Structure 1
Amino acid sequence: MRDLIFLTLLPVILYCMAKRPFIALGMWIWTALFFPNAWMYGLGNTIRYNLMFAGITIFGYLVQKDKPPTRWGAIGTLVTIFFLWTCMSSLLGTGNPVDVMDRWTYLLKIVVLFYFVNLIVAKKLHVDFFLWSVVFSVGFFAALEGLKFLGSGGGHKIEGLPGHVLGDRNELSVAFVILLPICYYLLTEFGKRSHIIKWGMLGLMGLIVMSIIGTQSRGGMIALTGLFIYMFIKSDRKIPLAILAGVLIFVASYFISEEWAQRMDTIGNAGKDDSFMGRVVAWKLSFIVAVHNPIFGGGFKVIEYWPNWQALSQEFDSFPFFYTGEARPDPKGTHAAHSIYFQLLGEHGFAGLAIYLSFIVVAFRKAGNLSRRARQHVETAWMGTLGTMLQLCIYSFCLGAAALSFAYFDLMFGLLALIQVMDSRILPAQLAAIESARAAVAPATPAPVKAVRAR
């Protein structure tokens, strides 16, 4: 039935996408995050929607007559340099060639998405449609799983969809945390126009919090806690925010299981937790790779290649200052890096990590600067709110993914592109329009009259 409904709507969707490239762009990120194939079982399951929608987006942009001017800015330049760096690390690396090509291709698709967000998004409508597409993908799944969690009295354990970019529950929980600031922006922007949207977004944000708890992800809870603290410090409405947090904690306490409580208790005793110390072992192996290959690293998934894992394990005790307690490399199999920072360090070297962190820091600072400039005018105040929320998204990602191999995430690169395009294209255009409007209504200053001397 789902296949029939979606396939019936597909021609209409394709027509709208062909007419409006920004709609195609929104559907591109929607398919990347929603993974429609996992929800269908018949003919609809065989179609590569993401590839189809990406192709239509690219074609629609190429035939578009009035293309907005392209300004890559510092973020676009650094992302391009980083991608070129990964090309070199892939060529010179020592990882499994099949895995290297798979991850390089995956990153290529993400970078292409980043480029076309820069090329297509030109106004507020485009930004809002992109963000609503994110909400109707990750947000839909969060709402559905949150309802299951509440309906089961906290017994439902939330997992990602198999084969999906968010298939891992830890990565899924971080994506849920990143979604909260986006929902807040949409609430402030559209909630005042409709009570349905207002209460719907508030309900969705509550379900997202429940879903984060339901994943039983320690990284997700750390990111959620960090997000609340950051929002509390930044917010002008500290009392309502504290009350809201208290209500959510009170409600959540009825659905927290003993297993969940035990997992969260290990955060304070990380040094005694085998799972966490196993991650520290992977971090050390990634560090050893970077020591031997400081410029380009070892390539994608370098420590997940068994010959590399064995060779690095033999050098494990050569760096005693990198403390791992009694934990040692697993002699039976490899493990992922389990940290975006050590993942990048091992895969692309100290230089690759520095480039990645550079565009993250630049984007964070640009979002803050964008927010300050935009708040000076009523017409651009929406960018002031969104700039702050995008800062929170970056902060949540950097905090939550510190213990995850999650460096290449479609949504984050898309949000970085939004920051770039708002800073270099949308805000300057709106400020210029404001100045033009003010100049048009300003009274003309009469020219001084020269006195005529009588003869």
Structure 2
Amino acid sequence: MRDILIMMIVIPAALMALRRPWIGVLLWTWLSLMNPHRYAFGFSVTAPLAAIAAVSTLVGMLAAPKDRESPFKGAPPVILLIFMAWMTLSWVMGMDRANDYAQWDKVMKINLMVLVTLMLLRTRVQIMTFVWVATFSLALLGIKGGLFTIANGGNYRVWGPPGSFIYDNNHFALALVMTIPLMRFLQMQTQAAWLKLAMTGGMVLVAASALGSHSRGGFLAICAMTLVLWWRGRNRFVSGVVLAVVAAVLLAFMPQEWSDRIATIGEYNEDASAQGRLSAWATAWNAAFHYPFGVGFNAARPELFQRFSPNPEVGTPVAHSIYFQVLGQHGFVGLGLFLLLWGVTWRWAAKLRREARDIPQARWAADLGAMCQVSLVGYAVGGAFLNLAHFDWPYDVMAMVVMARVWVRRRSWETEPVPESPRRWQHLLGIVPPRVPAAKGAA
């Protein structure tokens, strides 16, 4: 039944993408982030669903040149392209080009579709719909995991979609932490009190799911994200009280095992896992001096660990950090490009906030820039302890920032046609701007 339901979504959406290729971007994003086919049991598990979405999008894009434009609308996508070129060079010059091909192919496809997203999405309706689809692709998984955590008192760990980038409980936690600020952004755009309340409940459940993963990196990420989210709030006293109450309630559900695990964060000198990570980080650092182009997409090699680790008897070669993952795989140049990409994206989000906050028609873009920054804080902090350098979600956040800022700089609200008869749900979700009542005496 699940397989049929998935195909009932994929096939019509792929056909629609042939005429409206931006629909194909939404389909790809849903499949890539949520991985719904991983929860099925039949033919859809192995069916090339992502390929169907990508091919239909590319065909539709080629058939409709007026629907596309250059993706290089600013510094972030240009840096991404340079980073892609460097990763390709690193793969070619790496230690095992043949066996690393599969990972290179996966990463290039993900980044290519990010560029395609920037080519096809231009209007407020398109950008807002993309944010809804991307955010709730992960939020629905988090809500499900939150209900599971509460029902079981936090005694069992929450895991992501099987066989995906975020199957590991730690990776899943970080993805959910990044999702909460975008849920808050969507809540700010909604027009109904009941929906705002439902979004609040959803955010609490996603946070419960992140805690239920028992991830220490995820816990640090959610603390950093919450602090910045509170600071960015319009009423810090009220939001502080609400966040404190929610945190107290959620922590009360967690078992002693969870508390004991989180407490080991401050005992890294005695924790074997932490010592293993430090050993792996040193391996990546030392290897980068000997391999200027990096070693390719697999830096977690036992031979490298034995050669470059100061303590090869402790831990494993896996870096467990986006920073040391990129450093080991692609060298100092690759790490520099990676950091530059996120630093420039942060700056673009900050400029988006400043440029749009005093424009009523663009207030939504200012809110988006602010919440994307909060999401990136979660990624920067949690990613320091997790291998998620090539996961789609942060790159999708980057695309949101770029698309929204370009929309503002073009003053698109002056030229962009607003649907004359938008559907009620589009108003409800904030996908189209709210109606402005006509002034008294107007014709």
Decide: shared fold, TM above 0.5: yes
CA contact (8 A) 1:183 1:205 kept: yes
CA contact (8 A) 1:117 1:418 kept: no
Mapped to 2, the partners of 1:233 and 1:202 lie a distance apart of 18
Following TM superposition, by how much is the alpha carbon of 1:334 offset from its aligned partner in structure 2, in angstroms?
A: 4.2
Mapped to 2, the partners of 1:432 and 1:47 lie a distance apart of 41
- What per-residue deviation string (whole Å, max 9, x for no partner) do you get for residues 229-251 of structure 1? 11222323111211221221232
Matches within 5 A, 1:165-180: 165-180=165-180
1:392 to 357, 360, 374: 374
CA contact (8 A) 1:37 1:44 kept: yes
Following TM superposition, by how much is the alpha carbon of 1:195 offset from its aligned partner in structure 2, in angstroms?
A: 3.2
- What per-residue deviation string (whole Å, max 9, x for no partner) do you get for residues 262-307 of structure 1? 11101111222111110000000001101223x32222222x2233
Comparing 39-48 with 408-417, greater Cα deviation is found at: 39-48
Helix, strand or coil: the match of 1:225? helix
Summarize the Cα distance change of 1:414–1:129 in structure 2 as closer, same or farther, 3 Å threshold. Answer: same
CA contact (8 A) 1:29 1:411 kept: no
The code of the aligned residue for 1:310 comes to Q
The match for 2:306 is 310
- What per-residue deviation string (whole Å, max 9, x for no partner) do you get for residues 330-357 of structure 1? 37x8431111111111211111111111
Helix, strand or coil: the match of 1:250? helix
CA contact (8 A) 2:10 2:53 kept: no
The match for 1:447 is none
Following TM superposition, by how much is the alpha carbon of 1:225 offset from its aligned partner in structure 2, in angstroms?
A: 0.5
Matches within 5 A, 1:221-300: 221-293=219-291, 295-300=292-297
Mapped to 1, the partners of 2:104 and 2:53 lie a distance apart of 21
- What per-residue deviation string (whole Å, max 9, x for no partner) do you get for residues 148-202 of structure 1? 1111122232112321111111111010010011101100001xx2234212211
The match for 1:80 is 81
Mapped to 2, the partners of 1:48 and 1:187 lie a distance apart of 34
Summarize the Cα distance change of 1:41–1:434 in structure 2 as closer, same or farther, 3 Å threshold. Answer: closer
Helix, strand or coil: the match of 2:90? helix
The code of the aligned residue for 2:313 comes to D
Helix, strand or coil: the match of 1:33? helix
Gaps of 5+ in 2: 417-443
CA contact (8 A) 2:293 2:331 kept: yes
The match for 1:53 is 53
1:426 to 400, 404, 407: 407
The code of the aligned residue for 2:137 comes to S
The code of the aligned residue for 2:155 comes to G
The match for 1:195 is 193
User: Higher relative contact order by CA 8 Å / sep ≥ 6: 1 or 2?
Assistant: 1
Gaps of 5+ in 1: 317-327, 436-455
The match for 2:342 is 360
The match for 1:319 is none
Following TM superposition, by how much is the alpha carbon of 1:65 offset from its aligned partner in structure 2, in angstroms?
A: 4.4
1:329 aligns with 2:330: no
Mapped to 1, the partners of 2:110 and 2:250 lie a distance apart of 35
Following TM superposition, by how much is the alpha carbon of 1:67 offset from its aligned partner in structure 2, in angstroms?
A: 2.7
Following TM superposition, by how much is the alpha carbon of 1:71 offset from its aligned partner in structure 2, in angstroms?
A: 5.0
Following TM superposition, by how much is the alpha carbon of 1:142 offset from its aligned partner in structure 2, in angstroms?
A: 0.6
CA contact (8 A) 1:99 1:300 kept: no
Following TM superposition, by how much is the alpha carbon of 1:13 offset from its aligned partner in structure 2, in angstroms?
A: 2.8
Quote the RMSD (CA, aligned, Å).
1.9
Helix, strand or coil: the match of 1:204? helix
State the identity as a percent: 28
Mapped to 2, the partners of 1:69 and 1:87 lie a distance apart of 25
Mapped to 1, the partners of 2:412 and 2:162 lie a distance apart of 46
Following TM superposition, by how much is the alpha carbon of 1:433 offset from its aligned partner in structure 2, in angstroms?
A: 2.3
Summarize the Cα distance change of 1:403–1:236 in structure 2 as closer, same or farther, 3 Å threshold. Answer: same
Mapped to 2, the partners of 1:13 and 1:68 lie a distance apart of 19
Following TM superposition, by how much is the alpha carbon of 1:59 offset from its aligned partner in structure 2, in angstroms?
A: 1.4
The match for 2:320 is 338
Following TM superposition, by how much is the alpha carbon of 1:87 offset from its aligned partner in structure 2, in angstroms?
A: 1.3
The match for 1:417 is 399
The match for 2:202 is 204
Following TM superposition, by how much is the alpha carbon of 1:99 offset from its aligned partner in structure 2, in angstroms?
A: 4.1
CA contact (8 A) 2:150 2:253 kept: yes
Following TM superposition, by how much is the alpha carbon of 1:359 offset from its aligned partner in structure 2, in angstroms?
A: 1.2
CA contact (8 A) 2:302 2:317 kept: no
CA contact (8 A) 1:339 1:404 kept: yes
Mapped to 1, the partners of 2:80 and 2:258 lie a distance apart of 38
1:377 aligns with 2:351: no
1:214 aligns with 2:218: no
Mapped to 2, the partners of 1:189 and 1:357 lie a distance apart of 31
The code of the aligned residue for 1:168 comes to D
Mapped to 2, the partners of 1:113 and 1:281 lie a distance apart of 35
CA contact (8 A) 1:33 1:137 kept: yes
Equivalenced residue count is 415
Helix, strand or coil: the match of 1:268? helix
Mapped to 2, the partners of 1:48 and 1:36 lie a distance apart of 13
2:384 to 367, 391, 402: 402
Following TM superposition, by how much is the alpha carbon of 1:38 offset from its aligned partner in structure 2, in angstroms?
A: 1.4
CA contact (8 A) 2:61 2:68 kept: no
CA contact (8 A) 1:223 1:396 kept: yes
Larger Cα-atom Rg: 1
Mapped to 1, the partners of 2:195 and 2:294 lie a distance apart of 48
The code of the aligned residue for 2:298 comes to K
